[in-house]
Structure 1
Amino acid sequence: MQRPDGTPRVVVTGMGVRSPAGNDPSEAYATVTSGKGQAAHLPELLDAGLPVTFGCAVRDFESGLSKVERRRLDRAAQLAIAAADEAITAAGPGFSGDDPLRRGTYVGTASANLASIIALGGHEHAGTLNKVPVPTVPTIMANAAAAQISIRHGHRGPCLTLAAACASGATALGEAALAIRSGRIDAAIAGGVDALLTPFVVAAFARLGALSRRREDPGAASRPFDPDQDGFVMGEGAAFLTLERADRAAARGARIYGEISGYAAASDGAHIVTPREDGLVAAECMRRALEDADLGADEIGHVNAHATATPANDNAEVAAIERFFASSPPVTATKGVTGHLLGACGAFEAVIALMSAADGLVPPTANFTGGTDRIDVVHGGPREIPVAPVLSNSFGFGGHHASLVLTPP
């Protein structure tokens, strides 16, 4: 039940997802494995007359919250609560059955409740400050999702909101695992969320030149590693995992989905939006994550790449994989299916990585047509491989890097 360094192993005992690929882990995994892009034109973007009118939205989402709760909670917080509730339910009643001070809540997000801040800010421009809605403050608090999850489930341990751009979800998982290893807590709910599919935010990313303009075929717009890529596709979603000490999980007979066996974070420090071309820092982050897991590069079964489908990011990650691995393991990128879930992507991809590692099945990279032999990009259909640990990368604006090593049960 212990790691080689004597600290407790940290296992995953529950998972929850709200995503463009599906609203539970099994549905999301099946969609990702199908390799079909989920982007579509969205009415609010079409009505705004934007140059980019498509994205990957969470469809058929029902929060299960009361009308009063929905009024005071941003869409991101609602998605987070639903995914966290599912993960905690999946972990079983024993997950919350001990000292609440020993259970933590860790939420990663790139922009928290920015969509609501933008929407509510319209009152100022209309000269109606006296009509600002009463629930505005709890709606726009950056920590709203973490606070609500902690309150709903009676967690009294650390309740933290972590912002590391697109590495936020992976960072939340890694930091929660470190807290459990250190003995500060016994269990945690951890993951990521973002919901920024609004005209203002999409227009901002479009002005930056980061988004695909492939209007004629949105489902084929997100093209990780593909030479015909022209930018990423904006998505939204939430993914959460329940983490606990392995001996605690075993004592209560919990189902084990896998283990967070390695984690590392680093800062590129090269440019606010562009990573180092040589992949040096990303490769070092991967090395440290594997060192933390006490594994060698040749023991990794496959890589779940960050791969946003932007040339600078993808080329840098290819360089990092080349630099770190003597021979490229199979590489997959889920953003071809889901678009870029921003702060949620690292946690969502951890769910997919654990499920695919346990199945010995690497999902195909949607919309990849070939054109590079520098790394082994899985495409055209799933690939069967031996069951083995998986390395999942998350790289964000500002130079935030996080790598997770996830080991199947």
Structure 2
Amino acid sequence: MTTGSPAIAVTGLGMITPAGDGCPATWAGVRGGVSTAATDTQLKGMPVDFSCRVPDSADPAPRIGRKSWRMPRFAQLAVVAAREAVADAGLDPATWDGARVAVVIGSGLAGVSHLEEQTLRLHQAGPERVSAMLVPQLISNMAAGEVSLDLGARGPSLATETACASGATAIAVARDLLRSGTCDIAIAGGTDTAVTPVITTGFHQLGALSRRVDEPSAASRPFAADRDGFVIAEGAAVLVLERAEDAQARGRRGHAVLGGAGMTSDAFHPTAPAPDGRGAEAALRAALADAGLTASDVDHVNAHGTSTPKNDAAEASVIERVLPHGPSVTSAKGVLGHTLGAAGAIEAALTVLSIRDGVAPPIANLVAPEFGIDCVTGTERLQRIQAAASHSFGFGGHNVVLVFHAI
């Protein structure tokens, strides 16, 4: 932790993912190591017709109620995750000082599904059939806006957009708001629901998606020698952050401490990571320095681990170089797929749970890793985790590393 900066505790967690509704369901699914990928009827006829979707049983709309008609799905998921996180933190929006509560929610593609639907309406039925709610359902700040409305949080309400690092960026920004004294409670995370025909095909054309259409459940295999791309997914996660002394004053210990954050840019290529991982390495080193830790203190890495050839190779090289002592390495994308702008927040929450419960989850579909890093394979590994790093990278060369440690 930077000298003089207050310790930031993670006091609440909320998730809704392809593994299920709520943190317990997602944590159980990730620990079980079984992929959630399946053929997707909404992608019928597309070159890649499978995904990882939030199950129908976890549909957020009924819980949102009558407001759900106006609320884009990516915002609905964020609201449900935020409610769970706030409840987990033991906070009551009816009694808190909303002016001292900040909301920071990241999203990669926000309401693109609504844009896709309304574009079809425009061309098929004419301008008069385009929804008046198109713009509010499209713009990326609406997840933060709807969470703020739902919880009565009247402090800063911000949206981060750093592609697949958006959720992690949101958490880092929220941490800074707390450190600066701008707020007393920060609700931070990420959400994305971009599993659409156009977006899925766009990723396919880019060569980013796995082509294992005959075996979707085996498609996402981070760090495997025969990996061929990621599986597109949807989901959301929210963390409640507070200054540790404030949490303790109200009788909450928290799950873990957000010790450090590092953010850099590759300045290399719009979509490809720097092959030597120089930007990611700088972010990891910055996060460790911010946390006041050395590389040897890291017991576990929740890797970005997309299952794409270039990303996994670059990330593995960084882990080998910066953390040569061999911490355990996992990637939740083998189970959950790539949730895009939500991934960094989901994986941050999972990293906190790994520290809390002393568990390193397995990487689904990985038998023999290509690289010399200590990937967890087969079944979960029970280990004492005092400090862990969560990696997030995004198109545009964004690199964000969050370092958490035990309280």
TM range (shorter): over 0.9
Separation (CA, whole Å) in 2 of partners of 1:311 and 1:7 = 39
C-alpha displacement of 1:387: 2.8
Residues 23 and 66 of structure 1: CA distance in aligned 2, closer, same or farther (over 3 Å): closer
Q: Secondary structure at the match of 2:400?
A: strand
Residues 279-300 of structure 1: CA distance to partner in whole angstroms, max 9, x if unpaired? 1111111000000000011111
Moved more, 104-113 or 88-97: 88-97
Residues 39-61 of structure 1: CA distance to partner in whole angstroms, max 9, x if unpaired? 00011112xx1111111000022
Kindly report which structure 2 residues correspond to 1:390-405, keeping only aligned pairs within 5 A, or say none: 390-405=388-403
Residues 254-280 of structure 1: CA distance to partner in whole angstroms, max 9, x if unpaired? 251111111011101111111111111
- Is 1:296 matched with 2:285? no
Separation (CA, whole Å) in 2 of partners of 1:197 and 1:72 = 20
Moved more, 136-145 or 101-110: 136-145
The two structures have a TM-score, normalised by structure 1, of 0.96
Residues 300-337 of structure 1: CA distance to partner in whole angstroms, max 9, x if unpaired? 11100001000000000011112212332111111000
Q: Secondary structure at the match of 1:126?
A: helix
Q: Which among 51, 60, 82 is matched to residue 55 of structure 1?
A: 51
RMSD value over aligned CA atoms? 1.5
C-alpha displacement of 1:62: 2.9
Contact 1:232 1:310 in 2 (8 A): yes
Residues 126 and 373 of structure 1: CA distance in aligned 2, closer, same or farther (over 3 Å): closer
Moved more, 244-253 or 333-342: 244-253
Q: Which residue of 2 aligns with 1:196?
A: 194
Residues 96 and 178 of structure 1: CA distance in aligned 2, closer, same or farther (over 3 Å): farther
Counterpart residue type for residue 61 of structure 1: A
Residues 4 and 373 of structure 1: CA distance in aligned 2, closer, same or farther (over 3 Å): closer
- Is 1:15 matched with 2:13? yes
Separation (CA, whole Å) in 2 of partners of 1:339 and 1:213 = 14
Q: What number of residue pairs does the alignment pair up?
A: 405
- Is 1:115 matched with 2:152? no
Separation (CA, whole Å) in 1 of partners of 2:63 and 2:359 = 36
Q: Secondary structure at the match of 1:242?
A: strand
Q: Secondary structure at the match of 2:58?
A: coil
Moved more, 133-142 or 155-164: 133-142
Separation (CA, whole Å) in 1 of partners of 2:334 and 2:77 = 21
Contact 1:162 1:172 in 2 (8 A): yes
Q: Secondary structure at the match of 2:114?
A: helix
Separation (CA, whole Å) in 1 of partners of 2:285 and 2:125 = 54
Separation (CA, whole Å) in 2 of partners of 1:87 and 1:195 = 20
Contact 1:16 1:85 in 2 (8 A): yes
Residues 167-217 of structure 1: CA distance to partner in whole angstroms, max 9, x if unpaired? 000010011011101111111110000001111111111111111111121
Q: Secondary structure at the match of 2:164?
A: coil
Separation (CA, whole Å) in 2 of partners of 1:127 and 1:234 = 30
Kindly report which structure 2 residues correspond to 1:294-373, keeping only aligned pairs within 5 A, or say none: 294-373=292-371
Percent pairwise identity: 42
Separation (CA, whole Å) in 1 of partners of 2:113 and 2:406 = 36
Q: Secondary structure at the match of 2:222?
A: coil
Separation (CA, whole Å) in 1 of partners of 2:169 and 2:94 = 23
C-alpha displacement of 1:80: 0.9
Separation (CA, whole Å) in 1 of partners of 2:297 and 2:164 = 27
Residues 339-363 of structure 1: CA distance to partner in whole angstroms, max 9, x if unpaired? 0010001110111111112222211
Kindly report which structure 2 residues correspond to 1:132-281, keeping only aligned pairs within 5 A, or say none: 132-281=130-279
Contact 2:369 2:375 in 1 (8 A): no
C-alpha displacement of 1:228: 0.8
The two structures have a TM-score, normalised by structure 2, of 0.96
Residues 69 and 96 of structure 1: CA distance in aligned 2, closer, same or farther (over 3 Å): closer
Where in structure 1 are there 5+ consecutive unaligned residues? none
Separation (CA, whole Å) in 1 of partners of 2:280 and 2:125 = 48
Separation (CA, whole Å) in 2 of partners of 1:368 and 1:7 = 40
Q: Which residue of 2 aligns with 1:93?
A: 91
Moved more, 115-124 or 15-24: 115-124
- Is 1:284 matched with 2:273? no
